[in-house]
Amino acid sequence: MQSGLINEVDAFIGSLRARGRSERTIKTYRSILTRFIDYLTVNGLVPDRVTAQDIDRFILELSKLGWEQNSLFTAAVAVRSFLKYLGHSIDYPLPKRPTRLPKYLTREELARLINACQDDYEKLVIGLLITGVRVSELVTIRVSDINIERRSVKVIGKGNKERVVFFADWLIPLLKRYLRQNNSEWLFPSEANPDQHVHYVTIERTLQRIAKRAGINKHVTPHMLRHTFATLSLASGLDIREIQELLGHSSLSSTQIYTHVDPERLRRKTDEFYRSLFAPRW
């Protein structure tokens, strides 16, 4: 039974890839579903007879192993989606997902990060990540996607949705110099095989090395720079719907969390509100 289910997982993963899901999501789902198959096998269960209680027990096992709430939510989504793919649409309420404010860098920390870069490659990584792109979008940028005159880059986001982001003018001379030495169709080719793009883990490690040099005592990730772009651009005056477009969010609710992040911005806004009322008489 297990080998048959593994084949079904492979087919499900293929459907995710066909719908443009990121390699990170695919890797996560495969890991979760491999555990789920083991759970079914040990308990003598088959997918079309799985109940909500069975999924609860599986999620509880993961919780006992120390999985955090966000990871448990992802596991429940993966299992429910897999069962639906197999034709078993089960009414299973997802676990509560904790709401956490996004972590981001301050302007001063971002400047330190850029100043700690040692070459054009590292500066390009930082400069393009702070346009709001996901790391999965960054690694798949082709040279042909870049329009230097317009300072724009075409990226392919979730669900194969295409959008355009814009980079800072200080990247223009750097980008021209970098492209003269790049013979690959990819902006960031793999060192091992220039016909392939770099792996996202390589970008993550590059970013961590730069952050260490900069003396930033935060776990700096590509997604933190995406949060940094959203937070600082909102504070600079970009409209929330404009930021939604640049981030590639399908729903405005995904973008609205950034309106609650920057305490300094909230202080300024409340000060403006108080001044607009009336001058106190005491």
Active-site residue identified among 158, 163, 209, 213: 158
- Residue 226 annotated to the active site: yes
Active-site residue identified among 103, 154, 223, 265: 223
Active-site residue identified among 134, 197, 200, 227: 134
Question: Which residues on neighbouring strands pair with residue 20, listed in sequence order?
Answer: none
3-state secondary structure 26-73: HHHHHHHHHHHHHHHHHCCCCHHHCCHHHHHHHHHHHHHCCCCHHHHH
Active-site residue identified among 21, 80, 123, 226: 226
Residue type, 54: D
- Residue 158 annotated to the active site: yes
* Phi-psi label, residue 253: left if phi above 0, alpha if psi -120 to 50, beta otherwise: alpha
- Residue 223 annotated to the active site: yes
Spell out a b/e string for 233-268, using b for 16 or more CB atoms within 10 Å of the CB, else e: bbbeeeeeeebbebbbbeeeeebeebeebbeebeee
- Residue 134 annotated to the active site: yes
Active-site residue identified among 21, 123, 197, 249: 249
- Residue 269 annotated to the active site: no
Active-site residue identified among 29, 92, 104, 258: 258
- Residue 218 annotated to the active site: no
Question: Which residues on neighbouring strands pair with residue 162, listed in sequence order?
Answer: 156
Edge-to-edge strand ranges of the sheet holding 152-156: 146-147, 152-156, 162-166
Which residues are annotated as catalytic? Answer: 134, 158, 223, 226, 249, 258
